[in-house]
A and B are shown apart, each in its own frame.
Chain A
Amino acid sequence: SAVISQKPSRDICQRGTSLTIQCQVDSQVTMMFWYRQQPGQSLTLIATANQGSEATYESGFVIDKFPISRPNLTFSTLTVSNMSPEDSSIYLCSVEGPGRNTEAFFGQGTRLTVV
């Protein structure tokens, strides 16, 4: 299994500002995943972050709004830029075990409220 430390755990931000969420894994992983969970909804994949290359974004998500960094095999950040109240969600980072077809592990999540 993997242990993932995600911070901050929660934040309240003013609209128009940006927040950077950090995700640290206790082992080296090839891919890290960022999800958004809007209130009362399921999880939606934002992007996949690979070390040494640009993140791959899902339909409906763009780099200008959700820039991602992946400087090494154990760390990634997601920035939520120019926030509006519609960005209020739980953001989660995730990794999978070694090899293909393995279970996913999640950080504690960041509960973001934009006012």
Chain B
Amino acid sequence: GIQVEQSPPDLILQEGANSTLRCNFSDSVNNLQWFHQNPWGQLINLFYIPSGTKQNGRLSATTVATERYSLLYISSSQTTDSGVYFCAGGDYNTDKLIFGTGTRLQVFP
């Protein structure tokens, strides 16, 4: 099956710093999405981005589908950005969503 690797696995930042999270897919996927899981366990949609670039405030994402990767940029990080970030892509054969390994982000004041 499709493997989804995220890097780095852990990231510690001071407030105000910028960061880039990466998501690599072992095969082509559809429905590529980024989520933020808050400390209470809820998954919040950040981006639906099968290709191209999108921006939402301090966050932006870029997907290069032909090279099977996606990037999530966080600028001017805040303590509320802490949590786990997951990317996920749909398997073309099954339409099921495959989740990445996650990046745990901690932002300190």
Contacts and interface: CB of A to CB of B under 8 A. Distances in A.
B84 to A, nearest CB: 9
A67 B99 CA distance: 23
Interface residues of B, number: 21
Contacts of A48: 96
A102 interface: yes
B41 A103 contact: no
Interface in A94-115: 94, 100-109, 111
B101 A108 contact: no
Contacts of A13: none
A46 to B, nearest CB: 11
Interface of B: 30-31, 33, 35, 40-43, 45, 48, 50, 86, 88, 90, 95-97, 99-102
Closest 4 CB pairs of A and B: A103-B48, A109-B41, A106-B43, A43-B99
Interface of A: 1, 9, 33, 37, 42-45, 48, 90, 92, 94, 100-109, 111
